[in-house]
């Protein structure tokens, strides 16, 4: 009987933890990540989120925004040091190589 109840219970999967690498992610990962986030706010219902998110989840969201805004300011400052003609160039050509 216990086995039957366990089998019928809805299985909740733990989220897969994000692995932190030893070094920075490649530029391509940055482009893909932010490309996925384009107009993300248009895809959510504010009222639903206000009801369903926990305080901890809201705090995590705000912490991510704060970190993102700080990073954006640092990126803008770093970009000022890059000559216009060098912007958009890939430094390491191996970044374009892919396994067949």
Percentage helix, strand, coil for the chain under 3-state DSSP, each rounded to 5 = 60, 0, 40
State pLDDT tens for residues 6-52: 666 666 666 666 666 678 999 999 999 999 999 999 999 999 999 99
- Classify the C-alpha dihedral 34-36-38-44 as positive or negative: negative
Taking only the tens place, the pLDDT of each residue in 50-64 is 999 999 999 999 999
């Amino acid at each position: 009987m216990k086995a039957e109840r366990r089998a019928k219970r809805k299985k909740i999967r733990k989220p897969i933890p994000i692995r932190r690498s030893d070094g920075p992610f490649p530029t391509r990962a940055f482009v893909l990540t932010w490309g996925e986030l384009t107009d993300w706010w248009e895809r959510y219902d504010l009222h639903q989120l206000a009801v369903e998110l926990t305080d901890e989840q809201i705090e995590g969201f705000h912490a991510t925004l704060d970190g993102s805004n700080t990073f954006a300011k640092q990126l803008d400052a770093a970009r000022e040091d890059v000559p216009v003609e060098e912007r958009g160039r890939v430094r390491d050509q191996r970044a374009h190589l892919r396994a067949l």
